[in-house]
Chains A and B, each alone.
Chain A
């Protein structure tokens, strides 16, 4: 089991999630965040924090988002850790509205 960031984060990157992560398992690039499954303790604290519902428990990951399991595991360890909230990406609010949130 792990917790997974999916494509809804892409272009938003709100980062509210990282403030409640007890183990600093979030990593980031220019587009979005990723969770390191070897560090995540499956507490799920981040899931309700995401304004665009981009984060899933593995058990709840929809069929069409399964690829993100591997993407998180591959990308996270190579990228810098994020422990504090950053400004969302430009256009995040518009994207959020477009996603229906």
Chain B
């Protein structure tokens, strides 16, 4: 038997999930010193995960990371299996029998819940649904959002909340030359929204926005960013945070922008985006659908950088017709792979999946990206994360099972089951078609939003 990782016996790996982490794990394997073959399996016909269906349409530059993924796809040993769902079309145990190792990079696909009364009323949504909808994700194509009310509320103050607020704030003219899906553009064109309230549990110094995302609110054509100046008063611990030359850099920059928002009193724009701090929703009310949200005022206590918000008992009511929650994400379990329910991740040690948080390493299965470490960081954070996982895998080479058939065995199994998988050249045909559909509209692409449409292109 040849040594694993040689031309005669290449390391055969399945990577599950073709988002940034999947591509970075694939890249690390295919650019390593050993011979490897990587099959990148994706449940959608299209690759690129959240770069395609998460990154906001008005952030085209971030989507240029796709150019890097295209180069990875061109490396020797790469194969794409799109339109294949692990846990349905092929089981985790089958992958372990076909490959030397499996790396799960399937992200954090669902939202954390608020856990309050009225959360499931019509008009109360997750940010994921809305983001997926305007970005043409097939799973969210048929969602409906009612923009006929004057006030929308967003719970959460991270970059996804910022994206949602910005898309609601922008005019059709500001969006029509992006790759936003046509159905979303048409619906947003009818929007009656005048006020967008972005509500955070803690104070302005603890808001999770990156400065760049925040700054964009100062430059919107149709929408005025606003803050009541008393909201920017900081307690002693928050002042210490902002003054910290290292850990407080982002908070200090954000505070400067918040102050500009508070100063800028001009109210001549059609819409207002209001930042609200130290409030938690405690109840959503309405007759059959959302009519208002009840917020409780919070106060902060504790040491700098670990301050907690707790309710003061003082409440206020915000009339609204639409609410999005964006308070964090969690992974979705796959039967047959250990899952940490309260963290919403695959428990692991440096990328080696373990049988529970303190459990033993399960040989041959690995993880990277949000499903490994939780939903934090941005696109590039996942490269460092995936590289660490691949280093762990490389350290385990001598313990991996010897005989594994890899690509051909998966292709055969899928064929027997009547699963129509999509390879990379086929995806490139779909991609080219999307680009040409966008051209007459002056858009970089018009995405296909249904699986069947994509498969039709391939004939």
Contacts and interface: CB of A to CB of B under 8 A. Distances in A.
Given A43-B65, A60-B253, 12 more contacts: A19-B384, A21-B383, A22-B65, A24-B68, A41-B65, A43-B62, A43-B379, A43-B380, A44-B210, A46-B380, A57-B211, A101-B246
Nearest to A59: B215
A53 B246 CA distance: 8
B20 A20 contact: no
A88 interface: no
B68 A20 contact: no
Interface of B: prevailing SS: helix
A23 B67 contact: yes
B175 interface: no
Contacts of B381: 20, 45
Given A22-B68, A23-B65, A41-B62, A48 B249 contact: yes
B417 interface: no
B212 A44 contact: yes
A42 interface: yes
A8 to B, nearest CB: 13
Contacts of A57: 211-212
Given A41-B62, A48-B250, A22 B212 contact: no
Contacts of B61: 1, 41-42
Interface in A26-55: 41-46, 48, 53
A50 to B, nearest CB: 10
B377 interface: yes
A46 B381 CA distance: 9
A60 B212 CA distance: 10
A80 interface: no
Nearest to A40: B61
Interface of A: 1, 19-24, 41-46, 48, 53, 57, 59-60, 84, 100-101
A80 B289 CA distance: 59
Interface residues of B, number: 25
B383 A22 contact: yes
Contact of A45 (B64, B380, B387): B380
B378 interface: yes
Contacts of B380: 20-23, 43, 45-46
Nearest to A17: B380
Interface of B: 20, 61-62, 64-65, 67-68, 210-212, 215, 245-246, 249-250, 253, 377-384, 387
B378 A43 contact: yes
B68 A45 contact: no
25 contacts: A19-B387, A20-B377, A20-B381, A21-B380, A21-B383, A22-B20, A22-B380, A23-B65, A23-B67, A23-B68, A41-B65, A42-B61, A42-B62, A43-B379, A43-B380, A44-B210, A44-B378, A45-B378, A45-B380, A46-B380, A48-B249, A57-B212, A59-B215, A84-B387, A101-B245
A45 B68 CA distance: 16
A45 B379 contact: yes
Which 3 pairs between the two chains have the least Cβ-Cβ distance? Answer: A45-B380, A22-B380, A20-B380
Nearest to A46: B380
A67 to B, nearest CB: 22
